[in-house]
Amino acid sequence: MTGPLPPDETPGEFDFLAAEAAEVGRTGPLPAVRRVELELPDAPPVSGLLWGDGPPEVVLLHGAGLNAHTFDTTVLALGRPALVLDLPGHGRSGWRSDADYSPPTNAAAVIAALDAWTGGGVVLLGQSLGGLTALVVAARRPDLTRSLVMVDITPGVTAQDSAQVVEFLAGPSEFASRDEIVEMALRFGLGSGREALQRGVFHNTRIRPDGRVVFVHHFAHLGGLSPTVLSDRDRLWSAADEVVGAGIPVLLVRASDGFVSEQRVAEFRERVPAARVVQVQAGHNVQEQAAAALAALIPV
């Protein structure tokens, strides 16, 4: 396989929104949402979801092996215009021929998307790989970033810290059914429950003509998480130093059952002394397991 996999269209991409809204207690009409695509001159195209009728106030970036729909319930609970991106190699964004999905490389595509679809001055939130990518974006373009929210990740987190996701992504590359993937995810303690996982697996897979189910993200076709993702911590800490120097407010949301240990929190506080740190009762995928709590923490 040499490129991103086309999505299945039944059910439709937005057919789950009513159920997701009910999960977070949202009543009334559902917000407008549409998919957008951006061609890039020197990289594969980037895709995303534009929520609401006004300019995006919040931009959200997902973790490795996920896609923009992981934030559906968070955005529904938030109730503000938002842009949610598929990172390169994920969802409907293009696959890189060099398989470089490191935060600095991802950041270039994200910056292009922010320039195209926002007026700048957004709250930039990223979870896991998305959090490291957001950190680099904020360092490179403080003019685009009103504040930064990093969800269950710091530059100090290692592959050993994130073994749960590393092991999951290194698992089988094809399956007999989507239910098989749901069961695997439940064994790994991912997601917020079976029904939500079924939705997430639908968005993150397609059924091949031979009936086998495969993930749409590139990592599943590379044998697992690329080593570039968590490499070069010095560069990431340098980005944190630049964010501090630019005076950008930083919030670290730590999952109670996630990847950021007390040691990593202490290290982060030392390097980003003005950062606010809040713990949320959830696993690593906070946006799925505690969507309303996460939405309530996002700065105005």
Is 218 among the catalytic positions?
no
Catalytic residue among 47, 72, 102, 152: 152
Write 263-266 long-range contacts (CB < 8 A, 24+): 263/156, 264/154, 264/156, 264/157, 264/161, 265/154
Catalytic residue among 93, 102, 128, 226: 128
Distance of CA 282 to the CA centre of its chain: 16
Between CA 56 and CA 135 the distance in angstroms is 19
Residue environment code for 109-120, b if the CB has 16+ CB neighbours within 10 A, otherwise e: bbebbbeebbee
Give the closest residue to 191 by CA, choosing from 67, 129, 63, 284: 284
Write 21-25 long-range contacts (CB < 8 A, 24+): 21/76, 23/73, 23/196, 23/291, 24/73, 24/76, 24/77, 24/291, 24/292, 24/295, 25/77, 25/292
By the 8 A CB rule, do 224 and 249 touch? no
Is 221 among the catalytic positions?
no
Enumerate the active-site residues: 128, 152, 284
